[in-house]
Amino acid sequence: MSRKEAPRPGLLKAALAGRITNQEAATALGISRRQVQRLKRRWQAGGLAALLHGLRGRPSNRRLPAPVRRQAATLLQTTYAGFNDVHLTEKLRELHELPISRPSVRRLRQALGIPAQRPRRPPKHRSRRARADAVGRLVQLDGSPFAWLEDRGPGGTLLGAIDDASGQIVALWFRPEEDLHGYAVLLNQLGRTHGLPLTLYGDRLNVFVRNDVHWTRDEQLAGAQSPTHFGRMLQELGIGYIAAGSPQAKGRIERLWATLQDRLVKELRLRRVATLAAANAYLPIFITDYNRRFAAGAATLPAVWRKPPREFARVLSCRYARVVARDNTVTVSGRVVQLPPGPRGRSWAGLTVDVRELLDGRLLVFAADTLVTQQPPPGPGFILKPRSGPGGDRRRRQHLTASTATPQLVQDRRSTTSRPSTPSAKTHSRPAADHPWLRSLRRHVALKALRTAQRRG
C-alpha cells in the first residue's frame, strides 16, 4: 500500500462507524464524497485488498513498445556507445524518429548495466564564511555590465569594490567595458580615499590572473608564470589576491550588484544622467548615502588600511623592457621616446631599460632604477591597456639587465662583444633554378671545364 493509500482504512472505518461524515473523510483524503462512498462499498465487499489500485502490478499503458525498447537498446550498445543520456535522446529522436524521453533512456541504460558517462554528484557542502575581522583586511571587487543609464545613454560596466568587514562601498567607477584601465582607476581611487587593503578577492578574469597555459623558458626555470600587469601592480604594493572559484564565493559584492541595479539606476534616472562621465561624477554622492544607510558597524579590531607609497602613480602602470636603439630612442606601441645623453655624454644604445606607461598616459624610462626621461600623455582620451602580454617582450632583452647596467658598462661591452641580434623567424629556402646567382655559377663551371679540356688536348 502506498503512502497515499495508507490513511484510507482508518478513515473508512470511522466513516462506517458513524464517527465522521463522508464529507469529512473526503476532505482528509483529498477526494470527492462520491469516491468515499465507492471506497466504503469496496471495503465492505473485499476488505483491505479491495482498496488497492486496480492497475497495481500490471504494466503501464504508457510504457514504451517492445520494438522501440529493443531498437533503442541495440543502438545504445553499438552505434551510440559512450553517448550521454541527453545526447543519445536527441539522436534517437532526430535520426531514428523514436518517441523516447531522457528518463526512459536513463532507465534503459541502467537496466542494461551501463554506467553513466558523468555520474551525478550530490551538491557540495558549503559553509558560510565569516566576515573579515578588521576593515581593510579583505576587499571584494568585481564588474557588472548592465543598462545603468537605461535608454538615455550608452551601455557600460560598473566596477566596484566593497569592504568585507563593514560592507561599505570603498570604490565605484563606470567604464564602457571591464578592462585594465578601469581596475587601475578603481585601485587608485581606493588607495587615495581609504588606503591599501591587505587582500583583494575577485574572479578569474584575465586582467587579474593568467588564464593561458604558455610558459616561457624563464618562467619554467623560475617555476612560476609571470603575473599580469595588474598582478604586477599588486605585487609591488604588497596586496594579496584570492581568485574565487565561483560567484557564490564572493557573494557580498554579488548581492551589492542586485541592490545597485535597483537603487542606483533609479537615482540616475531622477537626475537624468545620460553619460558615463556624468554618472562617475555622481558616484561619490551615492557612495556616501549608501554607506550611511547600509554599512555595518565598525569591526572589533582597528582598521588595517595601509598608506600608499610615495611613488603610487608609478606603480599603477604597465612595465615593458626595451632595448635602446642606436639613435637613443625606445618605442612603446608607436610612441617614440628620445633619451638625452647619459653621464659624460655617453650613449644609451644597446642598454635594456624599463619603460613604464602610467595611468594618466605618461611614459617614464628608467635605467638602474634611475629616471632617465619622461614623455607627456598623448591626450585626454588615453586608455591604459597591455601593449604585450606578460613576458611578451623578453625576446628583446639582453643578458645585461637594467638593474646592473650603466652607460659606461654598455660602452665597455660594445668594445669587446658585438651587439646581439634579435632572433629571426625567417627560414632558409633553396633558390629557384633560374636564379641569377645559379646562372652565373653554371657559366663559371662550364668555362672552367672547357679550359681544362683545352689544356689536356
CB 222 within 8 A of CB 379: no
- Does residue 123 fall inside a structural domain? no
CB 311 within 8 A of CB 320: no
First and final C-alpha spacing in the chain: 122
39 and 70 share one domain:
no
**pLDDT (average), residues 182-201:** 96
Q: How many domains does the chain have?
A: 4
- Does residue 222 fall inside a structural domain? yes
Q: Which phi and psi (to 5°) does residue 239 adopt?
A: -105, 125
Contacts (Cβ under 8 Å, ≥6 apart) of 250? 140, 142, 201, 202, 203, 244
- Does residue 132 fall inside a structural domain? no
CB 42 within 8 A of CB 51: yes
253 and 348 share one domain:
no
Tell me, what's the pLDDT at 428?
Answer: 58
Pairing mode, if any, of strands 329-332 and 156-163?
Answer: unpaired
Confidence of residue 417 (pLDDT cuts 50, 70, 90): very low
**pLDDT (average), residues 318-345:** 92
Range of the domain at 242: 138-294
46 and 106 share one domain:
no
197 and 289 share one domain:
yes
- Local structure of 381: helix, strand or coil: coil
d(CA 401, CA 351): 8
pTM: 0.64
pLDDT for residue 397 is more than 90? no
39 and 105 share one domain:
no
List beta partners, residue 338. 329
Which residue's entry shows cell 557580498?
A: 252
379 and 249 share one domain:
no
- Does residue 426 fall inside a structural domain? no
193 and 78 share one domain:
no
d(CA 252, CA 249): 8
Pairing mode, if any, of strands 138-146 and 156-163?
Answer: antiparallel
Tens-digit pLDDT profile for residues 221-247: 888 888 999 999 999 999 999 999 888
159 and 94 share one domain:
no
Tell me, what's the pLDDT at 283?
Answer: 96
Tens-digit pLDDT profile for residues 245-290: 888 888 899 999 999 999 999 999 999 999 999 999 999 999 999 9
User: In the 3-class helix/strand/coil scheme, how is 204-252 assigned residue by residue?
Assistant: CCCCCCCCCCCCCHHHHHHCCCCCCHHHHHHHHHCCEEEECCCHHHHHH
d(CA 193, CA 333): 32
40 and 70 share one domain:
no
**pLDDT (average), residues 326-346:** 92
- Local structure of 327: helix, strand or coil: coil
